[in-house]
Every structure is written in C-alpha cells, then in structure tokens.
Structure 1
C-alpha cells in the first residue's frame, strides 16, 4: 500500500469522531466504593486513575491486567504492575492500591477484580471503571453483564480524539481501535459477553464505512 493510499481523509476522521463520541459514556465522576483501572497499552489509564484518587472519589484503586501481544514489550512485568508503579509515582499511596495481574481480556478484568475484592473483604455497591477513552462503553456493557449487582460508572482521560491520536502517534491504529471496539460492542452481546447497547444509525453507518475502507486490524479474528 502506498503512502497516498494510507492517508486518512477528513471525511474518515469525521466518521471516526462519531464513533469516538459514542464510545464515551459521559458519566459524571462521583464518589464510589472502589475504582478499577483496566489494563491496556495506554498508561493514561493509570494517570487518570491517580487524578481521580487524588480528587477523593474512592478509597481503593485496583489495577487489573496481565499481558497481551500488544503490551508485552511495553509492560514486560504486566499491565497492572506497571500501572501501579505509575500511580505510585503520581502520589497514590501503596496501601490504597490492589493489583490483579492475570486478566487477559475485559471479561477477566471484571471477574478477577470482583473476586480479588471479595477476598479482601470488599463488596462494593458502586464501581468506577477507568479505561482508554474509546473503551468506556464496552467496559460498561461487560461489567453490567458480569457484575449486575453493582452500579457502574466509567471514566477515562479527558481527551478529544485529536489529542488522543497525537498521544498514540499512529493515526491509522487509532481508527482501527475505534472500529474494533465498536465491533465488540455490537457482537459481544450475541455471545453473552456483554449487555446490548443501542448504536445510533449515523454511528453504525460511520462504522460500516470505515470497515469498507480497511480499518480492521483490531477487528475480531484479525
């Protein structure tokens, strides 16, 4: 593929913004019993978690995540371990942090975190999920399916799409990730992994257009 063919058009970015906005849940952060930072390639999750802790929104912060092919090189000791270290650097006290170092997908993030909290004698009624910005909706849908007895709120770094793509440094990858997460929002309820979420027609049209344009490296089965 040539450089010209790889160039992302303004129209494609406009479609991506529709999907980006859909992924963001728009929840107002309020005090909760516990926050769970979901492991990923994005250290901004740990930074956002630390900011919210320092704002006094929760007493316990749990980081969850082992490794994946996309994070092993960056976080060789595991996502949750590196997230904890970053949060400590940002002023979160060690006694406030729990680490779940084994989860390999979002479903495991939720179930393993729930089990670790229970083992610590913590049975929360309210949980704040801190994730990558475009993963808020899928995280919410997964938690509502697997942990229906808790009230779930979502948060992420307060970034717009242009800021996020600059922080990642790979424009095409950002679009691939937006498309891949929306595919999971659509398909995972059919597999019992998450609750169903209504997808507005303009968002679905944008998704189909970007799929046709080949932004599918993070699609299921890729």
Structure 2
C-alpha cells in the first residue's frame, strides 16, 4: 500500500504521473566542489540538514541560507527560513564563519539575486555555485539561476530521496503532488515572464502535468 492510501483515493495513474513529474524536476547533476552554496528557503528542515552534510564533505567553503517567513506556512519558521536554517546548521556542526545570511527573499528569484549580493558584499568571488533545494524544486532553481546569474556555473542538489521517501517525510500525498504540479507550471510559464530560462519539457511530463491539473491537483498553481 502506498503512503497515504488511507487518507486519499489517489489512482495508480495519478501516482505514476506524479512520479514522472518528480523525475523531471530532478537535474541529476554530479556533485563537485563549488565556490559557494545557497540553501534555498523551504517549508521543512531538509535543506539545512543536507547542506550541513555536504559542507562536511568539503564541497564548498561558504554557505548562504536565504529566505524570509515561509509564505505557505509562516508559523513553521516565524523568524524566517534563513534564520532557522542557520541555527539548525550550527547545531549540525557547520561553523558560524562559514554561513552567510539572506533573510529577506520571498521567492526563488530573490533567493538567487539577493544571495548573489550577500556573497559579493562578503567579498566572496563566485565562479561556481551549488543550489541546495527541495527535491522537486531543482529544475526551477536551475532555470532561475541561469536567467539571473548567467555567468556562474550551477550545480543543483537535493537530499537523495525517492518520491515515496519524500512523501513519507512530508506525510501528505495530495500536498506533495500539488507542489510537484505547481513547480511544473512555473517551469513552463516563468520563462515567458522573464523569470527563468526555458527548459525542454518531454511529452510524457507535459501530459502527466495536464492530467493532474484536470484531476484537481491545483492548490499550488498560479492563477491567471
């Protein structure tokens, strides 16, 4: 039995469609040393936990945490995502001297642009950057960074979780699929608005997205 089968009557086809979109969002970049890393704001502590793990492997010397209060769940990190993420990373052994803070961003574009400013103000010369994001957000983060910071080499990473594993962590199957669909919409639409570079969308991923939208997985969609 899949996670949350008791909570929601999600069909096998919908589950397969969600898996297809999950796979598309993953960039599958090979991890390699970078001049700095940016831990993007999110609704849980997965990003700082994985960022601390990667820091301890020596992949980057500087780590920026970025994000103000979470717009969807402001109660989870009332002092802002970046502040809470920094505190958690310190608890996990990342030294204070390695962490920079960007506490104002409210969207992914600001995560990138404001973190770039923080790094420059700190005198960090960045030719390569690792973006540490939620697993379903890798592709959107990559496309956004390529648009706003085109001269930097980008490596995307996220906690190595399979789709089933991430659903278990979050604990709500419908909510996870809604987030996958919402990010898919942004990957498709944001280049038209100048927010990101265009990404090729395979036919099977686009069809899965359309079916899930029609089935009502739409709480994270941007309304036109």
Bucket of the pairwise TM-score, normalised by the shorter protein: over 0.9
Instruction: Decide which of 99, 102, 107 is 1:97's aligned counterpart.
Output: 99
Look up the match of 1:15: 17
Partners of 1:134 and 1:4 in 2: CA distance = 24
Look up the match of 1:109: 111
Look up the match of 2:177: 175
What's the offset of the Cα at 1:60?
0.3
Look up the match of 2:194: 192
SS of equivalent to 1:127: strand
- Does the 8 A contact of 2:70 with 2:76 survive in 1? no
Look up the match of 2:134: 132
Partners of 1:5 and 1:54 in 2: CA distance = 38
Structure 1 residue ranges without an equivalent (≥5): none
Q: Map 1:28-107 onto structure 2 (within 5 A).
A: 28-107=30-109
Matching of residue 206 in structure 1 with residue 216 in structure 2 = no
- Does the 8 A contact of 2:70 with 2:77 survive in 1? no
RMSD, aligned CA = 1.5
Partners of 1:125 and 1:189 in 2: CA distance = 24
User: What whole-Å deviation, never above 9, does each CA across 1:164-209 have from its counterpart, x for those lacking one?
Assistant: 0010011100000000000000000000000000000000000000
User: What whole-Å deviation, never above 9, does each CA across 1:32-59 have from its counterpart, x for those lacking one?
Assistant: 0000000010210111101100010000
- Does the 8 A contact of 1:40 with 1:71 survive in 2? no
What's the offset of the Cα at 1:91?
1.0
Look up the match of 2:168: 166
Structure 2 residue ranges without an equivalent (≥5): none
SS of equivalent to 1:63: strand
Look up the match of 2:145: 143
What's the offset of the Cα at 1:5?
10
Instruction: Decide which of 153, 156, 160 is 1:154's aligned counterpart.
Output: 156
What's the offset of the Cα at 1:4?
9.2
What is the TM-score with the length of structure 2 in the denominator?
0.95
